[in-house]
């Protein structure tokens, strides 16, 4: 394959989109759309989210040490985009989007009812990197919608249907199609 050299780029695309919830000390919840997120450890289960210090959510999560990573389905793409182009500094994103806050089990920020998956996180570390700082969070509770399980208790990813984002062309993408399963190359 003949290749073109472009400027050094974070060409991991598409990545899943997360709607991260936080709540200030006054009890006001907020939602920020995050594409720079990833799994960083299986045990203890940990994720990262990277935020620019200018984000309203940055100071809240730094101060409270808690956040929830909610995974939107493609159906709520417009609401996910809206949470990424407006700031909680000026607006109430739950009221504006119609998304529903639900009490979490172990942390103060709410889960988002309309997301099939929510992971409650406790901040363990902030790693300054450059324009983004990476927030590492230990997942202390995970919630998955009932309808995302089949009768045998297996996860149905087609129901979770996560939304993807490609920074290279700033497009939203579907991530849902099943193409094979772990290790299946041994059997073909």
Ligand X SMILES: Cc1cc2nc3c(=O)[nH]c(=O)nc-3n(C[C@H](O)[C@H](O)[C@H](O)COP(=O)(O)O)c2cc1C
Binding residues vs ligand X (CB under 6 A): 17, 30, 32-36, 50-52, 55-57, 81, 84-89, 165
Question: Other C-beta atoms within 10 Å of 118: how many?
Answer: 25
Choose between 28 and 149: whose C-beta lies nearer to ligand X: 28
CB of 36 vs ligand X, minimal distance in Å: 3
Query: Cβ(150)–Cβ(62) under 8 Å?
Result: no
Beta strands 133-144 and 163-166 are unpaired
Choose between 2 and 25: whose C-beta lies nearer to ligand X: 25
Structural Rg of the chain based on CA atoms? 17
CB of 13 vs ligand X, minimal distance in Å: 12
CB of 54 vs ligand X, minimal distance in Å: 8
With H, G, I as helix, E, B as strand and everything else as coil, classify residue 40. strand
Six-digit token string for 93:
């994103």
Choose between 65 and 156: whose C-beta lies nearer to ligand X: 65
């Amino acid at each position: 394959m003949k290749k073109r050299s472009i400027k050094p780029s974070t060409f991991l695309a598409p990545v899943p989109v997360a709607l991260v919830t936080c709540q200030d000390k006054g009890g006001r919840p907020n939602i920020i759309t995050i594409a720079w997120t990833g799994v960083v450890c299986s045990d203890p289960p940990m994720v990262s989210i990277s935020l620019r210090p200018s984000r309203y959510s940055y100071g809240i999560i730094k101060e409270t040490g808690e956040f929830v990573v909610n995974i939107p389905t493609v159906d709520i793409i417009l609401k996910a985009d809206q949470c990424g182009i407006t700031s909680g500094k000026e607006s109430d994103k739950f009221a504006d989007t119609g998304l529903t806050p639900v009490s979490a089990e172990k942390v103060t920020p709410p889960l988002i009812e309309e997301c099939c998956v929510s992971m409650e996180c406790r901040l363990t570390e902030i790693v300054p990197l450059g324009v983004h700082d990476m927030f590492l969070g230990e997942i202390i509770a995970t919630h998955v919608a009932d309808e995302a399980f089949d009768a045998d208790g297996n996860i149905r990813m087609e129901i979770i249907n996560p939304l993807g984002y490609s920074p290279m062309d700033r497009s939203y993408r579907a991530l849902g199609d099943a193409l094979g399963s772990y290790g299946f190359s041994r059997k073909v």
